[in-house]
Amino acid sequence: MELKGRVWKFGKDVDTDELFAGRFIMGGDETSQSQYQEFIARSGLSDVGHRENVPKGFLAKVRKGDIIVAEENFGIGSSRQQAAETLKFKGVQAVVADSIHRIFFRNFWNLGCPAIDLPGISAEFETGQEIAINLRRGTIKNLTTGKRFEFRLIIPTWFIDMVEAGGLIPYHKSLHNVKSKNQSAK
Amino acid sequence: MTLVEKILAKKAGKKVVKPDEIVEISVDRAMIHDALGAHTIARFRELGVEKVWDPAKIVVVLDHYVPNKDIDTAKKCLNIKKFVLEQGIENYYEVGKGGIAHQVLVEKGHVLPGMTLVGVDSHTTTSGAMGAFATGIGVDEMAVVFKTGKLWERVPGTIRINVEGKLKPPIMSKDLMLVILKRLGISGALFKSLQYTGSAIRGMSIESRMVLTNMAIESGATNGIIEPDQKVIDFLKARMNQRFEVVHSDPDAEYAETLEFHADDIKEPMVAVPPKPSNAVGVTEVEGTKIDQAFIGTCTNGRLEDLRIAARILKGRKVDKFTKVIVIPASQEVLKAALAEGLIATFVEAGAVVGPPTCGPCMEAHMGILGPGEVCISTANRNFQGRVGDVTAKIYLASPATVAASALKGKISDPREFF
């Protein structure tokens, strides 16, 4: 599957307190999807004016389908899934970075959004350029400069199916449905 | 294979596993707390299954926002309690019964050598001090664990942290960990495991070891682990009556890397300057920095030995008039022991406020939140910008001894003067 989008170039060491501050963790009604999504989208990156690793204009101009390309150590810190959710609900469909911390990496994929770590990739992109990612082939292309890069992810074999299903929860629900269908066929 | 590889191989039903291999492991313990528990439950309900895979393997601890600070936190805790009752989960720790999850898991004997533990908290790594594989995950994955009892994991290669010698008070394991983090950096162990070995580790109390496994995540590590020795076996036997098997690294285990440290090389107490836990400097380099708040507590350093060393420094003295000094025991058990030893009286007489066992101002959850420009010295594990309140506040990380000495003077101070 191929993802295409506009690049926002982030700096290094974007941590989970920065992505989603502790004061909002208990906010949002997790039992109502629409209310929750709106709250999580609105509450992320709340102190962005004080952060040098977030590009100017990101909060105001980010739109559906955009892709973050970041320097090293993206998503350091907490297991709070809201750090990944806020990016998704703001419209970010993928994160590519020189390195990505483990829990954020898993959380973002689990939302159906690829997180791709490839050392050195950040130097090849600037905010506003166009990027294309082919997940099955393992390629990233800078459509603005024409340069192409290869990556190899260490992920379970079913991960891309999971992204196509829309994330871990929908993927597991579909597994369950397949199982029930098979059982009823017997 | 290394200790971690052996645990993961066994739990994956394989003879051998190799670093960076993807395996599916069975989960022995799954922990949720109030900060992310209600979210986990909401996602579990979305999966459309009615019952968790095994209620006896789930541990629920309310620790971040207790006693509840507002309606939102009370509502989420109510949802959790309802789920616990509905699912028949016995291992439930209401406020006043437990304390901070990572401490409760260990002191109540929920985590045994060779087990796999996952929690919706990055500091779940703490329980690695029991010789278990313990790591953090997000809420969607936890919902799936609740359904299936399984989790995929990328087998982490093992970085051996070998520490020889003996730490001399007031140098504590926190100072050692800050030195280790300085060498590793914040991604030095990304997708790897930290295994602590050597005479300094063997000579340490379990409480001190838990500081090392707690902060393993600060180097990006998947987990931190220590081979269980007689101390761990005796500790656990006093707390539970389940049989367990102690797993050791094979003599020919292959390590990704071995880093050598010696206790004698840590010449002075260390302080991690904001905004990274890996920014360690000797205390003398930042001595005299004015502080507004001093905090002793958390899953890193809120245990009895931490309170003892702080009380030793504060006894018969008064904390600085303009400094907010907060002491929060990590659990009810720690609080009870500290009361019996007179430590709590020492803190109160010194002019500190003592809070109920909870996470407190380790993160921006509940109590002790920092205002604009405030400076806090804390025994916690993270000092990221904006972690505990206003984005312009600053957090320095140090040992309980250094924080106590600083509390007396209202500025960052060297605890050696009191020893």
Task: Report the alpha-carbon distance of residue B174 to residue B413 in Å, rounded.
Answer: 16
Task: Report the alpha-carbon distance of residue A75 to residue A56 in Å, rounded.
Answer: 19
- For chain B, what are the domain ranges? 3-261, 276-418
- For chain A, what are the domain ranges? 2-155, 157-186
Contact of B139 with chain A, judged by CB distance below 8 Å, is answered with yes
- Cis peptide upstream of residue A114 (ω within 30 degrees of 0): no
Task: Report the alpha-carbon distance of residue B142 to residue A172 in Å, rounded.
Answer: 13
Tokens matching residue A61:
């101009």
Tokens matching residue B69:
């600070």
What is B276-418's CATH number, 3.30.499.10, 3.20.20.210, 2.160.20.80, 3.40.50.150?
3.30.499.10
Which residue is listed with tokens 């009370």? Answer: B74
Distance of CA B126 to the CA centre of its chain: 5
Instruction: Specify which residues A148 forms β-bridges with.
Output: A141
**What order of strands is seen across the sheet that includes strand B375-378?**
B280-282, B270-272, B394-397, B375-378, B293-296, B324-327, B353-354
Among chain A residues, the shortest Cα distance to B143 is held by A169
User: Closest approach of chain B CAs to the CA of A39, in angstroms?
Assistant: 13
- By Cβ distance, the residue of A23, A76, A154 closest to B154 is A154
Query: Which positions 14-73 of A are in contact with B (Cβ < 8 Å)?
Result: 15, 17-18, 21-23, 25-27, 30-31, 47, 50-51, 72-73
- Are the C-beta atoms of residues B235 and B204 closer than 8 Å to each other? no
Distance of CA B389 to the CA centre of its chain: 21
pLDDT value at B51 more than 90: yes
Mutate to test the interface with B, among A12, A17, A19, A26 (most CBs of B within 10 A): A26
Contact of B190 with chain A, judged by CB distance below 8 Å, is answered with yes
What Å distances lie between residue B15 and B3, B6, B18, B168, CA to CA? 14, 9, 10, 42
Instruction: Determine whether the interchain pair B38/A50 forms a contact, defined as Cβ–Cβ distance below 8 Å.
Output: no
User: Closest approach of chain A CAs to the CA of B140, in angstroms?
Assistant: 7
Instruction: Determine whether the interchain pair B382/A73 forms a contact, defined as Cβ–Cβ distance below 8 Å.
Output: no
Among chain A residues, the shortest Cα distance to B188 is held by A73
Contact of B33 with chain A, judged by CB distance below 8 Å, is answered with no
Tokens matching residue A174:
């579909």
pTM of the predicted model over 0.90: yes
Instruction: Determine whether the interchain pair B384/A172 forms a contact, defined as Cβ–Cβ distance below 8 Å.
Output: no
**Do strands B116-119 and A139-142 pair parallel, antiparallel, or not at all (unpaired)?**
unpaired
Query: Which positions 106-135 of A are in contact with B (Cβ < 8 Å)?
Result: 106-107, 110-111
pLDDT value at B42 more than 50: yes
Among chain B residues, the shortest Cα distance to A157 is held by B22
Nearest to B391 by CA among A81, A94, A52, A41: A52
Tokens matching residue A107:
């959380």
Length of chain B, in residues: 419
Chains A–B, number of C-beta pairs less than 8 Å apart: 131
Q: Return the pLDDT at A176.
A: 72
Provide the H-helix boundaries in B253-393: 283-286, 298-301, 304-314, 332-340, 343-350
Contact of A161 with chain B, judged by CB distance below 8 Å, is answered with no
Per-residue pLDDT of chain A (186 residues; tens, 9 = 90+): 899 999 999 999 999 999 999 999 999 999 899 999 999 999 999 999 999 999 999 999 999 999 999 999 999 999 999 999 999 999 999 999 999 999 999 999 999 999 999 999 999 999 999 999 999 999 999 999 999 999 999 999 999 999 999 999 999 999 877 666 555 544
Rg (CA), chain A: 17
Query: Which positions 55-94 of B are in contact with A (Cβ < 8 Å)?
Result: 64-65, 70, 72-73, 76, 79
- Are the C-beta atoms of residues A30 and B39 closer than 8 Å to each other? yes
Contact of B223 with chain A, judged by CB distance below 8 Å, is answered with no
Task: Report the alpha-carbon distance of residue A91 to residue A30 in Å, rounded.
Answer: 19
* H or E segment and range at residue B37: helix B34-46
Query: Is it true that B3-261 and B276-418 share their CATH fold?
Result: yes
- Are the C-beta atoms of residues B314 and B345 closer than 8 Å to each other? no
pLDDT value at B385 more than 80: yes
Task: Report the alpha-carbon distance of residue A147 to residue A151 in Å, rounded.
Answer: 14
Nearest to B204 by CA among B115, B121, B303: B303
Q: Minimum mean pLDDT among A24-28, B117-121, B403-407: which range?
A: A24-28
pLDDT digits (tens, 9 = 90+) for B6-39: 999 999 999 999 999 999 999 999 999 999 999 9
Rg (CA), chain B: 20
> Superfamily for B3-261?
Aconitase, domain 3 (3.30.499.10)
Identity at B357, one-letter amino acid code? P
Instruction: Specify which residues B225 forms β-bridges with.
Output: B195
User: Closest approach of chain B CAs to the CA of A144, in angstroms?
Assistant: 31
With contacts defined as CB-CB under 8 Å, which chain B residues touch A122?
A: none
Contact of B18 with chain A, judged by CB distance below 8 Å, is answered with no
Residue A87, CB-side half-sphere exposure with 13 Å CA sphere: 33
Q: Return the pLDDT at B89.
A: 98
Identity at A121, one-letter amino acid code? I
Task: Report the alpha-carbon distance of residue B229 to residue A143 in Å, rounded.
Answer: 57
Contact of B138 with chain A, judged by CB distance below 8 Å, is answered with yes
**What order of strands is seen across the sheet that includes strand B29-33?**
B91-93, B58-61, B29-33, B116-119, B133-136
- By Cβ distance, the residue of B119, B385, B389 closest to A18 is B385
Tokens matching residue A8:
């926002």
Q: Minimum mean pLDDT among A11-25, A169-183, B172-186, B355-369: which range?
A: A169-183
Look at the domain A2-155 and name its fold.
Answer: Aconitase; domain 4 (3.20.19)
- Are the C-beta atoms of residues A106 and A45 closer than 8 Å to each other? no
- Are the C-beta atoms of residues A74 and A46 closer than 8 Å to each other? no
